[in-house]
Amino acid sequence: MANATKSGLGMLMFVSAALSAPLPTSAQLAADRPALPNMTPFAIVTPATFPYAGADAVIVRSMDEDIRDVILVRRGKASATLLAAAVRQLAGLRALSGDNPTGVGTFRVQDNGRQWTRPGEASDWVASLGRSKSQPIAGFGRVPHLILYMPNQHK
């Protein structure tokens, strides 16, 4: 069952699944999310292992997954300024290269310490991520994550 709440930039969505069930396919996961016109989903994920030395967050863009943009955050490092920087950087990447990547890339998030325009929103993301249960997400297995939506750049 899905639960969506409005959140300034887009929508936060939590998808629940039975922990003993096999991992659903990308198509099954997509069927559980609402179709939002002119919006493209992205995920914020806290994986069990984080293989990017010297970074607290990276953006992974992939053209083969249902959710093509994933912000990976090292466990215990999520902060409002870091998530705000990651979402700003993702918006910039989408503005330059389009909503749907045409290749695979990993980009280190540069936290410049700038406040998010709506600081309460970024703080809510941190709190929600801290409360999120491990759920399946294509390409990463069963991990704590949030799915949000960003307005399309139309490229």
> Domain extents for the chain?
2-17+24-148
State how far the Cα of 47 lies from the Cα of 141, in Å rounded to an integer: 9
Cβ contact 14:146 at 8 Å: yes
Mean pLDDT, to the nearest integer, of 81-88? Answer: 91
Report the phi/psi class of residue 139: left, alpha or beta, with left for phi > 0 and alpha for psi in -120 to 50: left
What number of CA atoms fall less than 13 Å from residue 21's CA on the CB side?
A: 10
Query: What pLDDT digit, counting tens, does each position of 110-140 carry?
Result: 887 777 677 788 899 999 999 999 999 888 8
Query: pTM for the whole thing?
Result: 0.77
Q: Convert 51-76 into a string of H (helix), E (strand) and C (coil).
A: CCCCCCEEEEECCCCCCCEEEEECCC
Cβ contact 111:150 at 8 Å: no
What integer pLDDT is reported at residue 35 of this predicted model? 64
Query: What pLDDT digit, counting tens, does each position of 91-107 carry?
Result: 999 999 899 888 899 99
Cβ contact 141:49 at 8 Å: no
Say yes or no to pLDDT of 23 above 80.
Answer: no
Say yes or no to pLDDT of 9 above 50.
Answer: no
What integer pLDDT is reported at residue 66 of this predicted model? 83
- Whole-number average pLDDT of the chain: 78
